[in-house]
Amino acid sequence: MLASRIFSRGFASSSFQRGAKVAVLGAAGGIGQPLSLLLKLNPHIDRLSLYDIVNTPGVAADLSHINTNSTVTGHKGPEQLGAALKDAQVIVIPAGVPRKPGMTRDDLFNTNAGIVKTLAEAAAKHAPKAHILVIANPVNSTVPIVAEVFKKHNVFDAKRLFGVTTLDVVRASTFVGQTKKTNPENINVHVIGGHSGVTIMPLLSQTGTKFSKEEIEALTNRIQFGGDEVVKAKDGTGSATLSMAQAGARFTDSLLRALGGEKGIVEPTYVKSHVAAKDGVEYFSTNVELGPEGVSKIHDIGPMSDYEKKLYEAAIPELKNNIKKGVDFVNKA
Ligand code: NAD
Ligand code: LMR
């Protein structure tokens, strides 16, 4: 289902009117390039704007030869950032350094917080009404960073800010499909919380599939630490890029279709949310219905097994710390 949604030109006839400008910041990177390729194939986009501090003229020239009905522009360096962002409806941010083996996502904070803050400042200035899709890690902290920057510029709208956690649900359905020997495209796992280790909480009890205790423990661990699997296999050369590009393209496509008026589009995403507010957590991922203004309806967590309730208890302190770290980075600077 997802593969056909990304690659089939058949979806060109959906209800969305043409005309979106999408900007990718960090477009020359490991995620940025394949993500930009997939977005060049997306018929809902007619202007694709590629920004990075290196190599975007080449990436843009290359993609511009693909005969889909959209234009591609390359923008390199801070002096071209404003032009890259101007009139963008959607801004996707994969800019930032990836992990090496032995690192946590939080270890990326010192480098990536500053990168995301700078890009958010430019977005607040040049495209204050754009929908911002944050891929750069640590997502649990970089999303609050963007929010605080937008608040400082008096342009914050929680309906337009998303942490992209799609890769967690993509992985969850893949791993469950492998375990149960079924087509993963037909499996939907509600993954809640954040995007790092124990803050990633797959609610396998909501799938309607029966699992043994051993299967639940093994699958939960693999979904929580799926990113580490790729980091280890890449052996110091980076983290997930190709699966992330697919996940990022899927989320962007879902949002564009919702902005264009298509109904009933639900994606899990890390947003400013009421669902864990009673536990002092301001940003949280659950299924979110997308609409013409971005976030339309944030779904509740739903029923959790005793095992999942323990996952939730373990995740809350880390999420709180991650969020506070992002908020403080902007406000105590
Ligand atoms: P990469 O190093 O291959 O690419 C990053 C790109 O960002 C580079 O091209 C670099 O030049 C660019 N960049 C650096 N500073 C910049 C700035 N100030 N402005 C614009 N561009 C800048 O890394 P990658 O593998 O593409 O990963 C990018 C980020 O995405 C990392 O932080 C990684 O942890 C994260 N990630 C998130 C998820 C997720 O599920 N949300 C999944 C995979 C990776
Ligand atoms: C992932 O989940 O693959 C990304 O967050 C990258 C990482 O550091 O694992």
Check: CB of residue 137 under 8 Å from CB of residue 105: yes
For residue 28, say whether it is annotated as part of any ligand binding site.
yes
pLDDT tens digits for range 141-167? 999 999 999 999 999 999 999 999 999
Q: Are residues 51 and 127 in the same domain?
A: yes
Last residue of a domain, one of 105, 136, 163: 163
| Residue with the two structure tokens 């506070």 | 324
Last residue of a domain, one of 128, 144, 163: 163
As for how many domains the chain has, the answer is 2
Give the number of other CB atoms < 10 A from CB of residue 197: 18
Closest-lying ligand 2 atom to the alpha carbon of residue 105: 8
Could you tell me the pTM of the whole model?
Answer: 0.96
State the pLDDT at residue 19.
83
Please say which residue of 124, 146, 163 terminates a domain. Answer: 163
Range of the domain at 259: 166-331
Tell me, what DSSP letter sits at residue 10?
A: G
Give the pLDDT confidence score for residue 274 in this predicted structure. Answer: 98
- Residue with token string 């797959």: 202
Give the residues across from 161 on adjacent strands.
132
In the structure, which protein residues have their CB atom closer than 6 angstroms to any atom of ligand 1? 25-26, 28-32, 52-54, 94-99, 108, 112, 115, 118-119, 135-137, 139, 164, 167, 195, 238-241, 244
Q: Are 101 and 231 in contact (CB under 8 A)?
A: yes
Q: In this structure, are 145 and 7 located in the same domain?
A: yes
Same domain, 220 and 108: no
Q: Which two tokens stand for residue 94?
A: 């994969």
In one-letter notation, the amino acid at residue 80 is Q
Interface confidence (ipTM) of the complex: 0.99
Query: Three-state SS for 99?
Result: coil
Are 158 and 239 in a shared domain? no
Instruction: Indicate which CATH number applies to the domain containing 265.
Output: 3.90.110.10
| pLDDT tens digits, 269-307 | 999 999 999 999 999 999 999 999 999 999 999 999 999
Which positions of the chain have pLDDT values less than 50?
Answer: 1-16
User: Chain-wide mean pLDDT for the chain?
Assistant: 94
- What does the angle CA 2 – CA 69 – CA 256 come to, to the nearest 5 degrees? 45
Tell me the best of 229, 230, 246 to mutate to test the pocket of ligand 2, counting ligand atoms within 8 Å of each CB and taking the most.
230
Q: Any binding-site annotation on 260?
A: no
188 and 125 share one domain: no
Which residue type sits at 302? G
**Whether residues 215 and 297 fall in one domain:** yes
Q: Are residues 96 and 191 in the same domain?
A: no
Q: Which residues pair with 200 in a beta bridge?
A: 193
Which 3 state secondary structure label does DSSP give 205?
Answer: helix
- Strand segments (E) across the chain: 20-25, 45-52, 71-76, 90-93, 131-134, 161-163, 191-193, 200-202, 265-272, 283-291, 294-298
Span between the terminal Cα atoms of the chain, in Å: 45
